[in-house]
Amino acid sequence: MRKRVNAASDKNDISILALDDDPVMTLTLQAYFQNAGYTVDTANDPEAAVELVRSGGYDILLLDFLMTPICGDQVVEQIRKFDKELFIILLTGHKSMAPPIRTIRALDIQGYYEKSDRFDQLELLVESCVKSIRQMRIIRSQNEELTEANLKLNESYLELIRVLRLTVDARDIYTRGHSDRVSYYAEHIARAMNKDEEYCSRVRIAGLFHDLGKLNVPDSVLLKDSSLTGEEYALIKTHPAKGSEMLSSVSVFKDMAVIVRSHHERWDGKGYPDGLKGEEIPEEARIIAVADAFDAMTSTRRYRASRSLEYAKSEIIRGRGTQFDSNVADTFLKLLDNYDSMSAELEWTHDDAMQRGKDNG
């Protein structure tokens, strides 16, 4: 027998369950592998052993093939229904008594051992399993670390969005909450158009950022109560391009930059800043254009009172095929049939977000 080193400090984190209906065999296996440094439990009832595996968190199962009332392959079949990671080594009294190789493969049994009075070969099989177990643990640990890092990155990402959004809203009490509402409406339009989750997320965030470029517009223009001069209106019209430039400088927001730049383009080509027409305009921007126009009409501004729901709907209908993409406009008009429930949900979402902001601040 080859010399074995007691390496409890290296192996005692590996747990083994030895299953055989012969108590002498399980006690022998336990003594041998405990002496090698492993943690070893024993079982002599196959059906009870299944429950032990279910609750015991074992790494390796050593089990006899021929047992009563059920054989080893039946034990493995039951275990594989709830545990795909357990390493299993089948013990047989003779090689000819082992199950067919196709059964071993189907049940994902890592190997089988022909019983003898020497356990050298079995120990080599166990050590091979241990190497794989340790590699799996390293991979799992790395995946958990990556997941945690991604969560932290996402939290920072969302916090940056919140800060930028609140910065825009803080400029004018009359437009406070506008970006939240545009984002909400735009996301609902995208979902009603059966867009995937990534698309809907992009629309939601672009909606929050659509007026970011107004940070570059002087307060004397942005907060003016009276009509704008031609020069002042030209300054206002720079905000989509300015917002796009700001987002382009942050890698995680680059996908939103072109959407923000195009949210004041018109279907008939008479919009700004690039005079895009029809499907030249990114679809996400066409969605935000409808949401933005609706909220602008139904919100109180310093130069006028809010418009009614019916007025806003009639304006969207009038703008189909000229100002707005007809498909987007029609989708939103259908959603507005449930405007009361949307409005209630939007109010709750806004209040909840404000409260969470206070809790975190």
Supply the residues annotated as catalytic: 214
Locate tokens 């192996």: which residue? Answer: 11
DSSP state of 281: S
Q: Which amino acid is at 216?
A: N
Is the dihedral angle over the CA atoms 282, 286, 289, 291 positive or is it negative? negative
| Distance from the Cα of residue 23 to its chain's centroid | 49
- What span, in angstroms and rounded, lies between the C-alpha atoms of 304 and 230? 20
Is the dihedral angle over the CA atoms 312, 317, 321, 326 positive or is it negative? positive
Partners of 16 in the β-ladder: 40, 60
Q: Is 79 exposed, middle or buried (0-12, 13-18, 19+ CB in 10 A)?
A: buried
- What span, in angstroms and rounded, lies between the C-alpha atoms of 280 and 266? 10
- What span, in angstroms and rounded, lies between the C-alpha atoms of 148 and 141? 11
Output the six-digit token pair for 157: 């990402």
Is residue 273 reached through a cis peptide bond, with omega within 30 degrees of 0 on the bond before it? yes
Q: Are 253 and 247 in contact (CB under 8 A)?
A: yes
Q: What are phi and psi of 272, to 5 degrees?
A: -145, 160
Strand, coil or helix: 295: helix
Give, to the nearest 10 degrees, the angle between helix 254-261 and helix 283-298.
Answer: 60
Which residues contact residue 349 at a Cβ distance below 8 angstroms, ignoring those fewer than 6 apart? 180, 184
Distances (CA, A) of 122 to 215, 258, 270, 274, 276: 72, 63, 79, 74, 73
Total residues belonging to the chain? 361
DSSP state of 81: T
